Every structure is written in C-alpha cells, then in structure tokens.
Amino acid sequence: MAINLDWSQCPVVESIPGKVSGAWVFRDTRVPVSAIFENLKTSPIEEILENFHVTRDQVQSVLNFAARSTQTPREYWRVG
C-alpha cells in the first residue's frame, strides 16, 4: 500500500519550483528529503548528518512526520 504524504504540512521542508526541480527539500537547503530516506537504508545517521549537512532535529522531524502520517487519527492522538 503506497502512502502519499502531504509534505506541505511538515514545517522543516519546502518545495519551490525551480529549486531542485521542485522536489521536497529541507527548508533553506538543496537536500532532498528522499535522499535521507534512501541513505537511511545503508548508512548510519551520523554519516548522513555529516554528508548532507542537515541537523539531527531536521531529520527527526521528517521521520516523525512520516511516522505520524501512517497512523490513523485515533493512533495519532494516542501517540502524538
């Protein structure tokens, strides 16, 4: 089951036409959110933070947003 996330609701990311082809990137960077997810498959978080120059808080915010987006509204309020 594919889940379409409404990244516009995540405060640490932005999509600007003409900036990285309009991809969702970490706010005020050119680092695509998708790059973090791809690299989490094979790299430790410390390496990702160093290589992409994003903060632990930024990455954690994106991961939390994605996790909350997979929960039903009832689960969200219980966990969130």
- Which residues are within 8 A (CB) of 77 and not within 5 positions of it... i.e. 6 or more apart? none
List average pLDDT for each run of 10 residues in the chain, which is 80 residues long.
78 95 95 96 95 96 90 56
Residue range of the domain that includes 60? 13-79
| CA atoms of 75 and 56, how far apart (whole Å) | 25
Q: What per-residue confidence (pLDDT) applies to 69?
A: 82
The answer to whether residue 7 is domain-embedded is no
Q: What per-residue confidence (pLDDT) applies to 45?
A: 93
User: pTM value?
Assistant: 0.79
The answer to whether residue 1 is domain-embedded is no
Alpha helices in 1-80 (DSSP H): 33-40, 45-52, 56-69, 73-79
Q: How much is the CA Rg of the chain, to the nearest whole Å?
A: 13
Q: Give me the number of domains the chain comprises.
A: 1
Cβ neighbours of 13 (radius 10 Å) = 22
